[in-house]
A and B are shown apart, each in its own frame.
Chain A
């Protein structure tokens, strides 16, 4: 089966964020594969190992995004597609999905996978929107995929410890829940092999998609505190003693 994984590159988890208007200063920070998407990639690789076929990694963004596509290739994806776009961070969810759907539509995949949400914008809509735009069935927050004849049996996570099995025909779009599998590391052999794999580059303009923004991030800022935090200082032993006193005599919770 042909599986395409949508992967976003996001600021590294420990990157110090300097706010600049409605985005962040990108110059001094590192970027990495969006963690939820790494679970989607892993699931795609496992499905390929079981059922054969091809795994394609697609990502949108500036030139740096290629590094994340290379990482996917090193882990075992067969080829990559890069939608080159310096303004990607400014797109609203529907416009991003329209670009992606246009590129994905040409590939006629059996299965399109996304992570649950991105660690930067956190819109959490891309998979559902892409499915809607391609008129494909979808399911989200998936914890298990069992491929049967032209359909899948899926385990979908609900809230408060509940799950549901559903049947979904192929082709389809699935958003994968983090923790569905154990993500592999790229091997040295994989990294070497990735050098020979193809990354097709297309520009956003060449997709010919016109999309008016439906929403706009006016500004981002450090959230206002809802609680006054009392910070304790000193050596670890001093801070520990102070905390025990506070919990015992002020908060009275121990």
Chain B
């Protein structure tokens, strides 16, 4: 089998999920006796290709074009569909980034194929590869298989594989092969403009050793002071899952998850957070995770070290009091 991995970089920096996806590819290749091509796409990105060449892969494909300097879904899907037509991979793997969400389904659709997106793992059953993804906001897992002939398209979620397991090339270096693609300016319908960040954050949650995070279970903004009192007693920073910031109950800069910050504090206290995957990818690296939730089946308990099934409005004040008492 031939595996093609589409890597991602922007403004001179790798998106590190690319390496995790390469690890997934190496593991699938080892199980299926496959060869891996890793692809770098953009303009002036040859140095990225050189960096990939020392990894344990068969070749690096370098796709460069003036019209690929800035990402557009039209440019990327047109260029990559040409690469797929010429290099004929069986399995095309992507890191599940916001950019991949934007173009990969289109790329699969123009080749008349499907994509299994946001996978967290795989296993082999006979000669079939079974992809594991989550459904119902992480409450269930699903085994998914491709139907029909290849090429097949799949993306792996951030954190699903460990980038530090990436194997180096056994004998030095894989060849870097340039692939020419044809693109015309009129084929690219959207026009990318400037990249920017919103007003500078006043808080850097990535540096906080203790984080007290609230989710939908907090129910109303009037209840937030209870969580803040707990945060004060434990010496932690306040954070939240996306819905809380969407409601404006806490500022966006305190949002943890795929669209917010990724943190790895020594202690993460999740209050009334169900543990939807978009949240979990942002905090599963925490050393100790405490989850307090009324639903004993909440997916947050799957990654928690300590769990309390109960009403956060009873537990929060009790915990604040216990912390204050422990200080004396």
Interface residues of A (CB under 8 A from B): 11, 13-14, 16-17, 19, 22, 24, 92-94, 97, 119-125, 128-129, 131-133, 137-141, 153, 157-169, 177-179, 182, 212-227, 229-232, 236-237, 239-241, 243-244, 246-248, 251, 253-254
Alpha-carbon distance A85/B301, docked complex (angstroms): 36
B62 to chain A, nearest CB (A): 24
Alpha-carbon distance A246/B74, docked complex (angstroms): 53
With an 8 A cutoff between CB atoms, is B183 at the interface? no
- Asked if B302 contacts A226 (CB within 8 A), the reply is yes
With an 8 A cutoff between CB atoms, is B108 at the interface? yes
- Which residues from B are CB-within-8-Å of A243? 290, 306, 308, 319, 322
- Which residues from B are CB-within-8-Å of A162? 195-197
- Which residues from A are CB-within-8-Å of B138? 223
- Which residues from A are CB-within-8-Å of B97? 159
Alpha-carbon distance A231/B145, docked complex (angstroms): 35
Alpha-carbon distance A163/B194, docked complex (angstroms): 8
With an 8 A cutoff between CB atoms, is B139 at the interface? yes
Alpha-carbon distance A221/B130, docked complex (angstroms): 14
A110 to chain B, nearest CB (A): 15
Alpha-carbon distance A244/B246, docked complex (angstroms): 32
Leading 8 A-B pairs by shortest Cβ distance: A214-B114, A179-B246, A240-B318, A137-B189, A125-B105, A240-B322, A165-B193, A167-B191
A98 to chain B, nearest CB (A): 9
- Asked if A240 contacts B141 (CB within 8 A), the reply is no
- Asked if A177 contacts B259 (CB within 8 A), the reply is yes
Q: Count the B residues whose beta carbon is within 8 Å of the partner chain — how many?
A: 96
- Asked if B288 contacts A247 (CB within 8 A), the reply is yes
With an 8 A cutoff between CB atoms, is B285 at the interface? no
- Which residues from B are CB-within-8-Å of A16? 297
The verdict on A125 contacting B134 (CB below 8 Å), with A178-B242, A239-B308, A253-B210 known, is no
Which residues in chain B, 263-302, are within 8 Å of chain A measured between CB atoms?
266-267, 277, 287-291, 295, 297, 299, 301-302
Interface string of B117-156 (1 = CB under 8 A from A): 1100000000000100111111111111111100000000
- Asked if A93 contacts B114 (CB within 8 A), the reply is yes
Q: How many A-B residue pairs have CB under 8 A?
A: 257
A38 to chain B, nearest CB (A): 11
Alpha-carbon distance A132/B312, docked complex (angstroms): 45
Alpha-carbon distance A218/B135, docked complex (angstroms): 13
- Which residues from B are CB-within-8-Å of A227? 289, 302-305
The verdict on A214 contacting B321 (CB below 8 Å), with A164-B195, A236-B315 known, is no
A159-B15, A182-B247, A239-B310 given; 18 more Cβ-contact pairs under 8 Å: A22-B142, A24-B136, A94-B114, A125-B101, A132-B106, A138-B106, A164-B194, A165-B194, A212-B148, A215-B144, A220-B135, A231-B307, A232-B307, A232-B308, A241-B322, A246-B306, A253-B267, A253-B288
**Which of A157, A223, A230, A254 is B235 in contact with, Cβ under 8 Å?**
A254
Alpha-carbon distance A19/B143, docked complex (angstroms): 13
The verdict on A254 contacting B306 (CB below 8 Å), with A215-B116, A237-B318 known, is no
Alpha-carbon distance A163/B192, docked complex (angstroms): 11
- Asked if A218 contacts B144 (CB within 8 A), the reply is yes
- Asked if A119 contacts B137 (CB within 8 A), the reply is yes
